[in-house]
Structure 1
Amino acid sequence: MPASGRPPGSWQSPPGPAVARASPPSLAPPARALGENLPIGVIVGVAVAGFLMALASLFIVACLSDRGKKQRPPMRKRGTMVVPAGAPDSYPPSNGPAASPSDTNSYEFTGYKSCFTYDELVGITGGFSAQNVIGEGGFGKVYMGSLGDGRRVAVKQLKVGGGQGEKEFRAEVDIISRIHHRHLVTLVGYCVTENHRLLVYEFVSNDTLEHHLHGEGLPVMDWPKRMKIAIGSARGLTYLHEDCHPRIIHRDIKSANILLDKAFEAKVADFGVAKLTNDSMTHVSTRVMGTFGYMAPEYASSGKLTDRSDVFSFGVVLLELITGRKPVDSSQPLGEESLVEWARPLLVDALETDDFREIADPSLECRYSKIEMRRMVEAAAACIRHSVTKRPRMVQVWRSLDVDGGSTDLTNGVKLGHSTAYDSGQYSADIELFRRMGFEDDLDTAEYGLSDEGEPGPGSGRQRQQRTAAGR
């Protein structure tokens, strides 16, 4: 075959020795020539096909993984709705997940609302067993319960009378369920039927402020704890008054409605419950009995409640923290049974002389911060003013107590003790009138937390009334 017959594109070596030229030509083309003969389109096609196969494999793996997740059984939570919450101290319903309370041992319920059936609550409370009763108040009994996952709850069984219908009740509960704050007891869920109205709350394990201040055989609550509780509960009430829409007036502020966790952080309970009953006669007779000793003067005379009525009641709680005395104590000398009337002149004297020994709890043995004591005394004196308009707002009270809140003027331009002329005897007569109206109601007040008292003992309505009035 002549040299000119080489396939086109073959490489021709340069002239060399004769021996090299004499060798017979190879029948196979060089390796490089084979690669160069493949069309570029084939190479590109193979690469694209490989890439597509890799993508398909990844898609199949992702689908199988997602299918496995969907087949997992969901959490058994009937009617659960996540309610967003906010900052660690204030939880409006639209700013992300809620922070947990400071007590790491308490159960986290914040952010959940659940509708329970009556049969479920029967099971949770052991058939509403008397052994599970942990409190009883003007609105009904409170039972200890346990959810399926072991979390404890407090089930409040409201008395059903001439109250709201189912639609109105659900609307009110929906408002309460959206309120989340580290110093307010969280509503876990509710139950509403034709004959039953029940509220399910988180269980707060360290009982009430009333228990720790006035319970027998308990260690003396030191001053730092008292100040911490005052500030915390003031924050919770400020949130109800200032940051809730619609604004919520508590209507029953008392030491028995301030629950404590293991770290002695305060949690205000029972807010919004008064509106759920909506029974005017029951409200007047039982609620006033339940709050005897905390009642604002204008409520005793007219039955009207405002946010400043809450402020007055909170002032009585502050007096309990300062003095260690009950709101009404029949064991005290005649004329000194009422904490408010006994403390009023002492508060003024203490602030004028800067000497708090006469007003401070003797069991503290003067072991308190004088600066903090003055703040609390000033706040208490301003809160229990006779004149509604001269009392501070709750936010002012909180700021005056909080170490980081700075100085707040609570006088409203009026010197303490000179807000208005007031007939103390008429106030006592008005209270006595309400006491007679609630004559037959037994209103032991420990609610939601553990109680050291059992079922109410036998006795006449008058005896039970006197026990309640004494703050037991």
Structure 2
Amino acid sequence: MAIQASEPVANPNPTTNSASRTPRKSSKSEREKPSSNSPRNPVPKPPNWLSDPSTSGSASGSRSSYLLDTSVATTSVASGTSLSNLRDTLPENSQIYDFSEIRAATNNFLAKRYSSTSSSSQSWRSVLNGKDVIIFQRKLRKSMDFSDVKQKLSVISKSHYMSIIKLLGVSISGEHIYLVYDFVSGSDLSLCLRNPRNPDFTVLSTWMSRMQIATDVAHGLDYIHNTAGLSIDMVHKHLKSSGIIVTEPSYNAKICHFGAAELCGGTREDDRARPPELTSERQVEGVRGYMSPEFKATGIATQKSDVYAFGVVILELLTGKEPETYKFDKGSKNYKRLSIIETAREAVEEGGSGGEGVDMRLRRWVDKRLKDSFPVEVAEKLTRVALQCVQVDPDNRPNMNWVAGKISKLYLASRKWSDKFKVPTEISVSLGPR
């Protein structure tokens, strides 16, 4: 399978459309009428807003039929006028949904919640503007102003990458932000590796299937860090195996929750002016096993903390195990913490117990469900790359551009190994008498 690391698809520029430059005479009343069917303003609007009559309604009408927290209504961006003004300045493909649209799509939030292990927040799968979407509700970590939302949503909406699930738009009401993503059919990586109903089985039973996922996630995170942000240092913050969707039939991986940290307020830029008394609240936002030491201490997500989480995901792919487990020790009669980071270091460090070589230790450490069918040299190099990502000191961790390049080379080496041992399919065997 070839590595797919194509450049992001550029957004169409609405100003280059000749039809949009053709002047159209209209009366003064027509130009001032805020109708969804009115001619385009000098600032181009995305076509989906013009064709969607629900976006022309004000939020004041929706508040009459749904209870909102009026104590925060003056500081949120839920007002119809503000949303309309914000829409007019966003590029094509950006979307600020009316809160009434979110309510309608979720049946006033009474629809069955989508069962997902990728997020602890509430979510609903629904259809919005004819698209199959999934809506996540998250709590805002700071007060949001129009310019902040506009800048970040403008950047995120321009991002297109094959291994990132696209953010279609947002809606903000009170203390919550509703993130609308494309729905992607598949299973999350944690379930693919650890099916509670059948622990001895995994769909990722080949080395190449796991290398494909490692490559997709590496290039996706590299895109987020070094391409998507443009003028800002973009951070994911929520990278974990349960936040990665594996699709069939080629077992490609797609990263969930892109843009959530930026829009909810949970990055270094957002936390610089944050009062110290809120530190304890930030510390519990991460996921056990994926948080770097400095993230645990400060609660501030950085690109280096993303690299740490990525290293943990790679070790999960190698072993099939959770980042942290607890085993009962009969001697001390206490539970002992087991970390895949520690076991990985033991597997590749020089001089094992009894003079056992690295090859043998790796074969015992790597997921048994691969049935010892993997290139040991590549597995060792991949383990060492992952261990570099989980260094305690963030300054000693590599950036994702370097990591993605290394993993691409290991993918090519794995492909060469796989082709070497591939069973020929063009040979036909006859079992009949000659």
Whole-Å separation in 2 of the counterparts to 1:118 and 1:259: 28
2:346 corresponds to: 345
Deviations 1:330-374 (A, max 9, x none): 247643432223332223259972341132012222122334322
> When the two structures are superposed, what TM-score results if normalisation uses the length of structure 1?
0.57
Question: Of the candidates 356, 374, 390, which is equivalent to residue 384 of structure 1?
Answer: 390
Distance 1:143 1:226, change over 3 A: same
2:213 corresponds to: 229
1:247 corresponds to: 233
What's the CA shift for 1:194? Answer: 4.4
What's the CA shift for 1:148? Answer: 4.7
1:132-171 residue pairs with structure 2 within 5 A?
Answer: 132-135=113-116, 140-149=121-130, 151-160=131-140, 162-171=142-151
> Which secondary structure does the structure 1 equivalent of 2:95 belong to?
strand
Structure showing greater Rg: 1
Deviations 1:243-284 (A, max 9, x none): 231221212221112122223211112233223223757785
Q: Percent identity?
A: 26
Report whether the alignment pairs 1:115 with 2:96.
yes
What's the CA shift for 1:188? Answer: 1.2
Structure 1 unpaired stretches of 5+: 1-74, 82-110, 408-472
Whole-Å separation in 2 of the counterparts to 1:366 and 1:138: 33
The answer (yes or no) to whether the contact 2:118–2:244 under 8 Å persists in 1 is no
The answer (yes or no) to whether the contact 2:188–2:245 under 8 Å persists in 1 is yes
Question: Of the candidates 97, 106, 122, which is equivalent to residue 125 of structure 1?
Answer: 106
1:20 corresponds to: none
Whole-Å separation in 1 of the counterparts to 2:399 and 2:346: 22
Structure 2 unpaired stretches of 5+: 1-45, 53-91, 267-273, 330-334, 414-434
1:207 corresponds to: 187
The answer (yes or no) to whether the contact 2:117–2:243 under 8 Å persists in 1 is no
2:400 corresponds to: 394
Whole-Å separation in 2 of the counterparts to 1:352 and 1:166: 59
What's the CA shift for 1:311? Answer: 1.1
Whole-Å separation in 1 of the counterparts to 2:393 and 2:369: 32
Report whether the alignment pairs 1:266 with 2:267.
no
The answer (yes or no) to whether the contact 1:135–1:141 under 8 Å persists in 2 is no
The answer (yes or no) to whether the contact 1:316–1:327 under 8 Å persists in 2 is yes
1:291 corresponds to: 287
Whole-Å separation in 2 of the counterparts to 1:249 and 1:332: 37
Deviations 1:165-210 (A, max 9, x none): 3442333222211111111110112223445421110111102111
Whole-Å separation in 2 of the counterparts to 1:364 and 1:115: 46
Q: RMSD of the alignment, in Å?
A: 3.2
What's the CA shift for 1:213? Answer: 1.2
Whole-Å separation in 2 of the counterparts to 1:202 and 1:138: 15
Whole-Å separation in 2 of the counterparts to 1:337 and 1:79: 56
Deviations 1:95-141 (A, max 9, x none): xxxxxxxxxxxxxxxx8333321221222223323523333777731
Whole-Å separation in 2 of the counterparts to 1:391 and 1:190: 33
1:361 corresponds to: 367
AA matched with 2:365: I
1:39-118 residue pairs with structure 2 within 5 A?
Answer: 77-78=48-49, 112-118=93-99
What's the CA shift for 1:215? Answer: 2.4
Distance 1:327 1:239, change over 3 A: same
1:459 corresponds to: none
The answer (yes or no) to whether the contact 2:245–2:255 under 8 Å persists in 1 is yes
> Which secondary structure does the structure 2 equivalent of 1:341 belong to?
helix
The answer (yes or no) to whether the contact 2:217–2:253 under 8 Å persists in 1 is yes
What's the CA shift for 1:321? Answer: 0.5
The answer (yes or no) to whether the contact 1:124–1:146 under 8 Å persists in 2 is yes
> Which secondary structure does the structure 1 equivalent of 2:134 belong to?
strand
> When the two structures are superposed, what TM-score results if normalisation uses the length of structure 2?
0.62
What's the CA shift for 1:303? Answer: 3.9
1:324-335 residue pairs with structure 2 within 5 A?
Answer: 324-331=320-327, 334-335=335-336
Report whether the alignment pairs 1:172 with 2:152.
yes
Distance 1:140 1:77, change over 3 A: same
Higher relative contact order (CA 8 A, sep 6+): 1
AA matched with 2:216: G
The answer (yes or no) to whether the contact 2:235–2:262 under 8 Å persists in 1 is no
Distance 1:305 1:157, change over 3 A: closer
Whole-Å separation in 1 of the counterparts to 2:261 and 2:312: 20
Distance 1:285 1:341, change over 3 A: farther
AA matched with 1:152: D
